[in-house]
Amino acid sequence: MKSNNFLIVTALSILITSFSSCSNDFLEENPESFIAPTNFYKTEADANAALVAVYNGLRAIYSQDITFVGDTAGEQTWPGVSNSNVDRSNIDAFQFDPSNAILLGNWNNNYVIINRANAVLDRVPAIEMPAATKDIIIAEARFLRAFSYFNLVRTFGGVPLRLAEVTPLHLERSSADAVYAVIIDDLKQAEAKLPAVQPAANVGRATKGAASTMLAYVYLTKKDWTNAAAKAQEVISNAGAYGYGLYATPADVWKIANENKLEHIFSIQFQSGPEALGSAYAQFYLSRTANVIQASGISGFGQNMVEDKFWRSFSAADTRRDASILSRFVDPKTQKVYQYPSTDLTELSIFKYFDTAPYARSNNNNNYPILRYADVLLMKAEALNELNGPTTEAYGAINAIRKRAGAGMTDLSGLTQVQFRAAVLQERSWEFCFESKRYFDLIRTEQLVPIMTAAGKNPQPKNLLFPIPQKEIDTNNKINPEDQNPGY
């Protein structure tokens, strides 16, 4: 059950937080018909409305564009035969440049969240309300700001640091280290104040465990193995209090009834219905051939199709393949069986986000996962191996994921440190396919060029970062062409 308090964002709250990131000059006239920050941030309800608007910004990032960074730039998917979008194709082929509209969308939408979070952080402290409630609202805003900066720094490297509601329009790029310092500080502060479990009315919002898991992910990205291992273990040690664990089967992870429970630590919330707050992934990913399994009148877009080689990489015993990828289905009207790779089914669809009962086309009830408990276990395994080689604890963590994947999945054992490192990367590929993590995993493990070259792509060293959007260079007087990432 999803929280309407979280999902349904009024036009008023978005209007307020959007304007609150503008300059003071814009607010000077203060007409009576305009609800400005100076006469809005007065009550606990105002603070909550402003926070919900920060969360709402996540939906723009995770409606599609992030997948073209995290997934299409990997070897698991390709744009699809029906794709006509040059920007998507260029990312898939590693031919993207600063004019790519997808990259601009990711840049702008993350800064929307950052600006709204800054407004909460600057305005809410002055509101008279229960201190504990205020602390949690501020902590959630810090978590969301850190999350967006984490998206930006992994994609573009150093970016302008906007840390207050009112900041100069033109800001220079900060170093990646400076951005990470802000991310870590925000997450530590959020972790200290967030609740172990959110009340039912706030389901889907950030928790202490989400902040700790994100911290582990940040440390892992920075190759701070000691802190990554410690923070992952902290989450594992508190799994009972947080309500975390693994579902019995991979298919259980993707049941809509199981969202925001057990394994799902933090997800982008979507809810089908007349408010048009649903997800588009079910139809966006579905092959045109597979339209017959959709509700009447709804068809697939045939975008971001699964690569044959990736499908074949799964063991026959690995149930994650069929839980993640649609390679067989039955026409409910004719009972005809479609089985890849026959002539009747020549495309593989992402199946993790299929909704059997969508409200309408592109209005599905599937959340988009950001952090899962499986991630905590694999982060622990990776960090421990980097510290001391494949220890008993490291094997235990990765083998827990493999056992859940299928009864026939054998435990790993007897590996060298190098072999275990490769095994964790491969396990993450199978476990988190189509969750916008593959490109970032390949970057942080320094495997983008060799793996993507082996996949038949032509990545260059410059592709370890995406280019700063040209529009930012054109409009920000503090960022010059020579400040662009190397090679672009």
pLDDT in tens, 328-368: 999 998 999 999 999 899 999 999 999 988 888 888 999 99
96: confidence class by pLDDT, cuts 50, 70, 90: very high
Q: Between 44-61 and 131-156, two packed helices, what is the crossing angle to 10 degrees? A: 20
- The answer, yes or no, to whether residue 21 has pLDDT greater than 80, is no
Q: Do the bridges between strand 368-372 and strand 264-268 make them parallel or antiparallel, or are there none, so unpaired?
A: antiparallel
Residue 201 near residue 164, CB atoms below 8 Å: no
Q: What pLDDT is stored for residue 371 in this prediction?
A: 98
CA atoms within 13 A on the CB side of 409: 19
Summarize pLDDT for 222-261 with one digit per residue, the tens.
Answer: 999 999 999 999 999 999 999 999 999 999 999 999 999 9
| pTM, 2 dp | 0.92
CA–CA separation, 185 and 196 (whole Å)? 19
3-state secondary structure of 11: helix
- Considering only CA atoms, which of 322, 323, 328, 287 is closest in space to residue 304? 287
Place of tokens 């005809």: 336
Summarize pLDDT for 138-152 with one digit per residue, the tens.
Answer: 999 999 999 999 999
CA–CA separation, 465 and 454 (whole Å)? 20
12: confidence class by pLDDT, cuts 50, 70, 90: very low
- CA 458 from chain centre, in angstroms, equals 25
Q: Extract the tokens encoding 455.
A: 């996949």
Residue 424 near residue 220, CB atoms below 8 Å: no
CA–CA separation, 259 and 372 (whole Å)? 11
Q: Extract the tokens encoding 27.
A: 């607010």
- Mean pLDDT of all residues in 23-51: 64
CA–CA separation, 445 and 426 (whole Å)? 11
- The residues, ordered by sequence, that sit 6+ positions from 439 with a Cβ below 8 Å of its Cβ are 69, 70, 71, 73, 74, 448
What mean pLDDT value characterizes the chain? 91
Q: What pLDDT is stored for residue 39 in this prediction?
A: 67
